Amino acid sequence: MLAYGNGDDHAFTIIYERHKGALYRYLLRQCGNAEDARELFQDIWMNLIRARERYEVRAKFVTYLFRLAHNRLVDHYRRRARNPVQSNPSRNPGGEDDYLDLETLPGMDCDQVENRLHLKRLAERLLELIGQLPYAQREAFLLREEAGFSLEEIAEVTGVNAETAKSRLRYAVVKLRNALGGELGEER
Amino acid sequence: MSRRKRVDRELGRYLQRKSVLSRAYSETPGEEPPPELDATILAEARRAVRDRPRLVPTPFARNWVVPASLAAILVLTVGLVRFTFKETGEPVLPKTAPERRVESTLEEMRKRESVDTLGAVEPGDAGKPSAGQAPLERKGNATDPAVPVAQDTAAVKSDVVTDEPPAAAAVPLMKQRAAQDRPPARAQPGAASPPPRRTTTAAEIEEQATEGDQARAYERRSRDDQPTAGLAAALEAKKMSSKRAALTSADRPESLAQPEVIVANGIPALRLPDSLTAVIANTFPGFRVPDHRDLKEQWAYDPDTYPRFAAWGDFNGDDLIDVALILISRDAYKRVIFNQTAEGYVPALELGADVDSAQVQILEPQRLYVSVIPKGQRFTIQGVEKEDTVEFLGEYDAVNIGVFGSSQSIVFWQQGKYQVQSIDRL
């Protein structure tokens, strides 16, 4: 990014190619809408281009990039007057069943989890369940999976402390596991 | 094994990438942005650097830029020192001029109002007059040949506007001398917070001003004097109860320097103590206190909640009023707690520095807020989960800092420093 700030446009191409997929999927799975994801994706990179000369190395670039994305997403939710928690409008927003319903979903038979085909189906189901997680928990999970962030990095990107980030990720993992079926024996 | 331990073990396995969740996620479709979007962004990136080529200094310039800068600074410093001190060594400070104040036009009053009463401190405002001072006294207005030193001061420190009296404004240039000559600004019990400055009478104002001007002018006077019934009726000035809950307790000392909310013609303004305004300008250049221009979205004016960007109380139990502020710049924000000390206000805690350092563009600072949690008042924050819910009961006033619809933190004084407890509300 520093090289790009100094006028090397090839450097931008490198960082773009390196991070575009993870960032795009993070946005796509956070807002659940390809059109919005594309718009946000473009905004974030354009902001980055505009801020190139002010960029200073104070954190990993990828952390900086996802922090931009996090802030842009929050703005997006607020402007659309959409409560990010209410990813499923039929649920009781903010109520106790806001997350418990995930735990009551029928689990999958994971006896053959090593089976590739089964893993594919598991993946499809997982994406569906990720979309039903509360916003912050979904974000923590996606930052872990897509960007490979540690708890500390998730905390930095989302502007919370490490304990809060850990709490979010813990809830996400437990809910997803419970929803996918609590009998994934080899992990117990 | 308890449920909590099982959950922690499961999280541990997941973080070690031993969980089936990660394996399953790796099988999800690897969507990529469409090629046309790639092309658009990459083209813009190339265009941006090519349209604005950077200036590459010549080898000569590279070699001489530092020595030349040092020489220029030296010359300027010597020049300033020569103009700054009289033969006796006394600093040439702008003099107070009561006569000039009486003759001040209403236009001048309005200018002062926009800078001072609203509490805004912006880069590039140097040289503007402030309330309670003749405009020419402030930064050496070029129309007043009697104050050449102040002109130089304004030129050098063009990015800083203080709300201190002239002597304080000149302190950076003559620190040692001024420190000997002038006692530090301090908030003392029994001393009214901003010292009375104006000498214009209400009758004089009434003769010259329109009704709106009268209201504004009176509003300024009302900070120092007892209001008259007629003019008071023209104002909407009132105390803001919710933000001052901590300040109305019987044990709070009176007459300490503290912020003040003033409403005139339906426009609210937060007046900060002079020493706090000066500290903000000097410590956080480029940042300013939000003002009426920023009252939109979640900050839209509501008498019960204004100002969302400021809160004050005795946060550290020293009987002095401390202040929590959201400071904003063009593309960033800071959340700062200023402790009041015998020497004035000092920044004691800064939150959000990581955001600023990452230069994240804050499109809407209005999504942030601060408020006071009065001491002894039980305060509950509902977490995402029941077990995350926090009940807080502070020994001193505390600060509730948050993002609307998102995380929330309680900042409280404990063991001689501020502690921060964050609660996830998403």
Stated as kind and residue range, the H or E segment containing A64 is helix A61-79
Query: Which of the four pLDDT bands, split at 50, 70 and 90, describes residue B231?
Result: very low
Q: How far is CA B9 from CA B2, B17, B385, in A?
A: 11, 12, 19
A57 vs B12: CA distance, rounded Å: 31
Chain B residue numbers with beta carbons less than 8 Å from the beta carbon of A51 are 359, 361
Any A CB within 8 A of B367 CB: yes
- Report the Cα–Cα distance between both ends of chain B, in Å, rounded: 29
Is pLDDT larger for residue B59 or for residue B37? B37
* Max CA distance (Å), chain B: 83
Chain B residue numbers with beta carbons less than 8 Å from the beta carbon of A78 are 364, 367, 404-405
User: For residue B73, what are its two tokens?
Assistant: 């600074």
Residue B93's pLDDT is 41
Residue A54's pLDDT is 67
Mean of the per-residue pLDDT values for chain B?
Answer: 63
Stated as kind and residue range, the H or E segment containing B11 is helix B3-15
DSSP B253-314: PSS----EEEEETTEEEEEPPHHHHHHHHHHSTT-B---GGG--GGGS--TTT--TTEEEE-
**Model confidence, pTM:** 0.40
User: For residue B176, what are its two tokens?
Assistant: 């040692």
Tell me, what amino acid is at B365? Answer: P
Phi-psi region of B344 (alpha: psi -120 to 50; beta: other; left: phi over 0): left
Any B CB within 8 A of A93 CB: no
Please, which residues 18-57 of chain A have a Cβ atom closer than 8 Å to chain B? Answer: 20-21, 24-25, 28, 38, 41-42, 45-47, 49-52, 54-56
Chain A residue numbers with beta carbons less than 8 Å from the beta carbon of B26 are 123
Any B CB within 8 A of A132 CB: no
B371 vs B307: CA distance, rounded Å: 9
Residue B337's pLDDT is 94
- Chains A & B: contacts with CB separation below 8 Å: 184
Residue in B377, B373, B378, B376 with CA at minimum distance from that of residue B411 = B373
Per the CB < 8 Å rule, is A161 touching B405? Answer: no
Instruction: Tell me how close the Cα of A39 comes to any Cα of chain B, in angstroms.
Output: 9
**Closest CB to A71 among B20, B360, B405:** B360
Any A CB within 8 A of B359 CB: yes
Per the CB < 8 Å rule, is B15 touching A78? Answer: no
Q: Map tokens 């001052």 to a residue.
A: B244
A15-37 confidence digits (pLDDT tens)? 899 899 999 999 999 888 889 89
A141-169 confidence digits (pLDDT tens)? 999 999 999 988 898 888 888 888 888 89
* Max CA distance (Å), chain A: 55
Any A CB within 8 A of B4 CB: no
Residue B272's pLDDT is 93
Query: Which of the four pLDDT bands, split at 50, 70 and 90, describes residue B2?
Result: low
Residue A94's pLDDT is 34
Question: B100-130 b/e with 16+ CB inside 10 Å = b?
Answer: bbeebebebbbbbbbbbbbbbbbbebbbbbb
**A108-112, B283-287, B363-367: range with highest mean pLDDT:** B283-287
Query: Which of the four pLDDT bands, split at 50, 70 and 90, describes residue B324?
Result: very high
Could you tell me if the ipTM is greater than 0.90? no
* Mean pLDDT (whole number) for B138-165: 31
Per the CB < 8 Å rule, is A25 touching B30? Answer: yes
**Cα B282 from chain centroid?**
11
Any A CB within 8 A of B50 CB: yes
Chain B residue numbers with beta carbons less than 8 Å from the beta carbon of A56 are 357, 359
Q: Is the C-alpha dihedral spanning B63, B67, B70, B71 positive or negative?
A: negative
